[in-house]
Amino acid sequence: MSASRHILITGASSGIGFQAAVRLLRAGHRLTLPCRDGVRAASTARRIATEAGAAEADTAEAGTGPAPQALVCDLADLESVNRCAEELLRRGEPIDTLVLNAGLQYTGAPEPRRSAQGYELTIAVNHLAHQLLAQRLLPLLQAGREPRLVVTASEVHDPASQGGRVGRPAGLGDLGGLRQGPGFAMVDGVSPFDADKAYKDSKLCNLLFARRLPQQLRQLGLEQGRPWPVIAWSPGLVIPRTTGGFFRYSRRHNEAGQRLFALVARDLLRLTETAEGAGALLAGLAADPDHAAGGFHYWSNRVLGPGRRRFEAVQPSIEARDDALAAALWAISEELVGLG
């Protein structure tokens, strides 16, 4: 087993994040879990501890970490993110791995939803809040043991991928919408609102953020000669059996369509990944020594055929490798979240 790490993971209340948290706790790691509100925070910590068989309070049994610590961090409200960061900085406990895993998608909605600050909700939660949290917590990561940062992206950021080819492709243009500030519908400032494209765009932002971060760390002098691993990854299409499916690429949101898509993709074609399988991959990225190499890396859980997958390091899309776009996105986002 790898040495115990202190791991902060967003989006641990369900799905991939929940499964990863259970696995990490069982392996003896210490977890901090930001959650949307106090009720969810308490429930999430309790369910993960129960599932993992965690020890009580701050005492750890062999092979099992202490009960996870949860705190409030509503990613749809930058003020809540700041309060969460302030609390963590006040506590001063070094963070060894920061996992930016939480994600939001509302495919089928005809109009954009808004964050507390008026930003389109998908970009606000999936990108802006995570950039703010990461930047605020850099001092705790610097103090951590062999710091590492993991970002959950998606293959749909790439228009050439299987998922990326369905519907309108990801594309950020010149970031015209983001430059406008609150009230934009789409990041490019040109496209009519499309919730599915907004999700793809947010995943492209995740890749660009992850690729830019190592350069920012060098400029800030935080790495002290040892580059941190910055890992973006695509879990593949995950459809929980308990919900009848996640109809990710539909323009129309309906339960019958979700169930049909789940039947075909998951049960007939066997092209999907389970939450348990994806959670195991995320846990490995967060803690395993095999993923300790410094610098940016992108891993994808690729479909090879029915029931066959391969998790491997690959190149992200052409647009995700645009250094000028990554620098512009970082600077504009930094300004929007109040750090510029």
Angle subtended at Cα 60 by Cα 59 and Cα 64, rounded to the nearest 5 degrees: 155
Residue 128, token pair as written in the block:
């802006």
Shared-domain flag, residues 141 and 252: no
Shared-domain flag, residues 280 and 302: yes
Shared-domain flag, residues 250 and 151: no
pLDDT tens track for 183-238: 999 999 999 999 999 999 999 999 999 999 999 999 999 988 899 999 999 998 76
pLDDT tens track for 229-272: 999 999 987 665 544 333 333 344 445 445 544 444 444 444 56
Counted domains in the chain = 2
**1: in domain:** no
Higher pLDDT among residues 321 and 163, named by residue: 321
Shared-domain flag, residues 257 and 323: no
Shared-domain flag, residues 148 and 265: no
Q: What is the mean pLDDT of residues 294-314?
A: 84
- Picking from 272, 293, 317, the residue at the C-terminal end of a domain is 272
- Picking from 225, 253, 272, the residue at the C-terminal end of a domain is 272
**142: in domain:** yes
Q: Which amino acid is at 263?
A: L
Shared-domain flag, residues 176 and 255: no
Residue 58 is predicted with a pLDDT of 41
Residue 63 is predicted with a pLDDT of 52
Residue 195 is predicted with a pLDDT of 97
**181: in domain:** yes
Shared-domain flag, residues 218 and 255: no
Q: Where are the beta strands (DSSP E) in the chain?
A: 6-9, 30-35, 69-72, 97-100, 148-152, 229-234, 295-305, 308-313
Identify the domain containing residue 302 by its residue range.
6-237+275-336
Q: In which order are the strands placed within the sheet that holds 295-305?
A: 69-72, 30-35, 6-9, 97-100, 148-152, 229-234, 295-305, 308-313
Query: If we measure between CA atoms, which residue out of 180, 57, 85, 72 comes closest to residue 123?
Result: 180
Shared-domain flag, residues 245 and 104: no
Shared-domain flag, residues 205 and 310: yes
Q: How far apart are CA 208 and CA 152, in angstroms?
A: 12
Q: What is the mean pLDDT of residues 132-148?
A: 98
Residue 227, token pair as written in the block:
């580059």
Shared-domain flag, residues 12 and 32: yes
Residue 122 is predicted with a pLDDT of 98
Asked if the model's pLDDT at residue 149 lies above 60, the reply is yes
DSSP string, 33-99: EEESSHHHHHHHHHHHHHHHTPBSTT---TT-PBPPEEEE--TT-HHHHHHHHHHHHHHT---SEEE
- Picking from 252, 272, 292, the residue at the C-terminal end of a domain is 272
pLDDT tens track for 55-78: 443 434 445 678 999 999 999 999
**112: in domain:** yes
**303: in domain:** yes
**196: in domain:** yes
**35: in domain:** yes
Residues 334 and 135 sit within 8 Å (Cβ to Cβ) = yes
44: buried, middle or exposed (CB in 10 Å: 19+, 13-18, 0-12)?
buried
Shared-domain flag, residues 267 and 138: no
**309: in domain:** yes
Shared-domain flag, residues 291 and 323: yes
Residue 297 is predicted with a pLDDT of 98
Q: How far apart are CA 25 and CA 4, in angstroms?
A: 10
Instruction: Say which range, 7-21, 23-37, 233-247, has the weakest mean pLDDT.
Output: 233-247
Q: How far apart are CA 147 and CA 114, in angstroms?
A: 33
Asked if the model's pLDDT at residue 324 lies above 60, the reply is yes
Residue 340 is predicted with a pLDDT of 79
Q: What is the CATH number of the domain that holds 200?
A: 3.40.50.720
